[in-house]
Structure 1
Amino acid sequence: MTKSHGRKSRARTKSRARGAAFASANAGTLHQHTSGPSAADLQPVDPTRWGVDTAPDMRTASALISACIDRCAPCQQSLADKLLDEEAIVLAVLAGSVYTLHAETEQDAGGLASRATQVFFGLVKQAREYRDPGMLPPVVEMLPRESRAALLEDTLDMWTYYGHVDAGLLRERYPSPTGLSTVTVTMEGNDPEKAGPGVVVDLSALGHPAAYGVRTDMTRTGSGLVASVALVPESPEAGYDDLRWRCGWEPYIFQGLPSVDPAWVLKIDRTSGALLGIVRLLDATLRPERQPWEWRKDVYDRILWRAPVPAPPLASAKWLETARRRDTVLLYGPLDAGSDTPADWERLVSVHAYCQFTDRM
């Protein structure tokens, strides 16, 4: 074969493998890929186990797996972007199913897996142990987009490997519920791959995307002086929009005190009085029908602020006495560093949170 014929042959092969894909992608359409599991194969048998009433639409996920198996780069990119814009339940089911299958024979997510995937795999093992995947969608929902993209990339690598497995093995892996697992959030340094039921899992990779500093003070309200904590933005993502819309805090009531929101908790060291962190409890999302006192106190879906190590901020004796007596604290912000009053009262938000005096985050 001459060089010219060889070049033409390679071009024809490349065209058959990629030409239609690039042409359809450039035209704004995608061609069909069916090498992997179907959308029906990917749907959970019982969607309520995943925290939703109806089965999620897994058509994009099915097409994306098949595009990866077929090594169709244009479709992979377009479908991946589309999937990241869909509801968190789709990625949760896509990743949760294949990593549950993976956990049946492997102890870790793989040496090249991203930090977000390693943490997610630790939670998958917890969910598998307790036969309850309900914790997975809220975790995916709270991930920033770049972490979701990393999880999706690792997930697709897994599906490329497992994609040809008999469809019957790809269905629901949680046949009978026995209750949620006990996951305790703590400081960095714990290994999620070694976590078993009821032990510590490090969720530091799932922390809040905005950074804040805190400052304790006393705020006068119609109910008297209350212990309060002002949040001072320390990153571009922090500020009014973050607290108002991402965290769901309400507009500040001047000299007023809103009702307590039991989902938000300020953690305080019971011995030293140091502030440890501001968190939102996961069960406020997973178990809204339960009474707040039934929610697990050490399982979070958001860590808004965590004390720096080794110098957490200390509160005054008066502040601690007030917080202990009321068992609540007023969190508010954003407040500029070095300022006692906000630059714009209309852009100040707050939440009336519980205090928990404890020995760890």
Structure 2
Amino acid sequence: MGSWDRARQKRTAVVKRQRKKSRDKARSERTGASRASAATGNVHRHEPMPDMTILEGTPYAAGQRLNLDFAARLVAACWAKCGPCQESIARKVVERHRPTLAALAGAVYGLELNEPVARSPHVSATTRSWAPLARAAAKSSDGTAAYAAVEQMTAEEAADLLEDALDHWALGGASTDEITDMIKKVMPSGPPPRTGGPQQDSDADPLDAFRQAGVDVFTLDDLDLDIDVDPYHLAPNYGVMPMQTIGADGCEMPMLLLYPETEDAGIEDLKARTGWKGWDLRRMPPMDPNWRLRARIADHALEGLVHVGPDGWDDLELWRAAESVSLRGPWWELLDRVQHVLVAGPVKDPDSPGAVEAAAAAGELMAVVARVSFS
């Protein structure tokens, strides 16, 4: 009798464990928590929880039903830097909630600010190829192609897209240094050109809905005004070396040689941002009056190299002087007399003899003749 009772208790215990496992599984499916967290009752609910109803008005899921609870939990976990929750919920989103994945990624890569991501080497190939579909969906309000591409992705590809997108969503809980680092990862050529000028008030800012829902969204103007991040330092940076050459008229002409100061600076960056032509040293490069070397008369110092847009505002700052260095002497006098300067680069080691010639021979030298703007 005793042995039968023990057997019955054992069977009952097994049934209870199975029921508990079923409840744990259901709770895991419902909340996105890992099975272990569900089993112990320690389901994380990170605060603050963003209002993800903002995703419902986006086109990227092509009208499919979204799991806004999972989306909110995933973003909150990113803000809290909770790896276990991120991993658990992200896995379920990839496996069973592709519309939600498309909406989360589209809300990031549909923004005009993130258009340069399509050529960024710091995000996955999946994200680079999908980002243009998100931009097209944002412009046309038709996300059919963008969503279809997400549905057709392998689990690995979908995970890559989601991970890249979450780097942006995580900005809501990031420090200023982390924001700078994250933006540089997806914008290797720096932020897109600014049009400058006074900011115009708009009653239809599409980013306001994100901000009102508690999701921090950063534009270039936010980076300037609200947090201490300088867009110039998000782009590849260069140093300059004053030199001189011979102009087309056989007279001396001032020259400025660019050399990379950051790893992302180089020939590909100049090709992407400047529109300069290759220079073989045999003939003068074209003159572009929209490129300006700014110089300060008071202390004979160079201030920066910029491109001026059609509206008269600087739309690209290629070089900025880190400190004031007086250039009194023959070079400044030549600059003052000629009023133009030949700008060439990039040359990795400008002090090395023959470095300019070697760059030109390798087809890795670009140049332009810029105006000098004294102030």
Give the TM-score taking structure 1 as reference length: 0.51
Q: Describe the shift of the 1:59–1:4 C-alpha distance in structure 2 as closer, same or farther (beyond 3 A).
A: same
1:15 match = 29
Provide the rounded CA distance (Å) in 1 between the counterparts of 2:293 and 2:72. Answer: 47
2:343 match = 331
How many angstroms does 1:333 deviate by?
0.9
Q: Which amino acid aligns with 1:350?
A: A
Structure whose residues are more often helix by fraction: 2
2:366 match = 349
Alignment gaps of 5+ in structure 2: 1-12, 34-50, 75-88, 94-99, 117-133, 136-170, 184-195
Q: Describe the shift of the 1:325–1:347 C-alpha distance in structure 2 as closer, same or farther (beyond 3 A).
A: same
Q: 1:237 aligns with which of 240, 261, 264?
A: 264
Q: Which amino acid aligns with 2:277?
A: E
Q: 1:161 aligns with which of 175, 191, 214?
A: 214
Q: 1:5 aligns with which of 1, 19, 41?
A: 19
Provide the rounded CA distance (Å) in 1 between the counterparts of 2:329 and 2:29. Answer: 75
Q: Describe the shift of the 1:80–1:331 C-alpha distance in structure 2 as closer, same or farther (beyond 3 A).
A: farther
- Larger RCO of the pair (alpha carbons < 8 Å, separation 6+): 1
How many angstroms does 1:324 deviate by?
2.9
1:219 match = 245
RMSD of the alignment, in Å?
Answer: 5.0
User: Mean alpha-carbon deviation: is it higher for 322-331 or for 268-277?
Assistant: 322-331
Provide the rounded CA distance (Å) in 2 between the counterparts of 1:80 and 1:305. Answer: 36
Cα pair 2:61 2:102 within 8 Å, conserved: no
Q: Describe the shift of the 1:116–1:35 C-alpha distance in structure 2 as closer, same or farther (beyond 3 A).
A: closer
Cα pair 1:61 1:90 within 8 Å, conserved: no
Provide the rounded CA distance (Å) in 2 between the counterparts of 1:203 and 1:295. Answer: 24
Q: Which amino acid aligns with 1:295?
A: G
Aligned residues between the structures: 244
Q: 1:209 aligns with which of 214, 221, 235?
A: 235
Q: Which residues of 2 match residues 79-158 of structure 1 at below 5 A?
A: 88=112, 112=174, 114=176, 130-131=200-201, 158=211
Q: 1:317 aligns with which of 329, 345, 351?
A: 329
Q: 1:307 aligns with which of 321, 327, 339?
A: 321
Q: Which amino acid aligns with 2:71?
A: C
Q: Describe the shift of the 1:3–1:129 C-alpha distance in structure 2 as closer, same or farther (beyond 3 A).
A: farther
Alignment gaps of 5+ in structure 1: 20-33, 43-57, 95-108, 121-125, 138-151, 164-182, 184-189, 195-201, 285-289
How many angstroms does 1:348 deviate by?
0.9
Provide the rounded CA distance (Å) in 2 between the counterparts of 1:113 and 1:162. Answer: 15
Q: Describe the shift of the 1:212–1:219 C-alpha distance in structure 2 as closer, same or farther (beyond 3 A).
A: same
2:63 is the counterpart of 1:68:
no
How many angstroms does 1:117 deviate by?
6.5
Compare CA radii of gyration and give the structure with the larger one: 2
Q: Which amino acid aligns with 1:354?
A: R
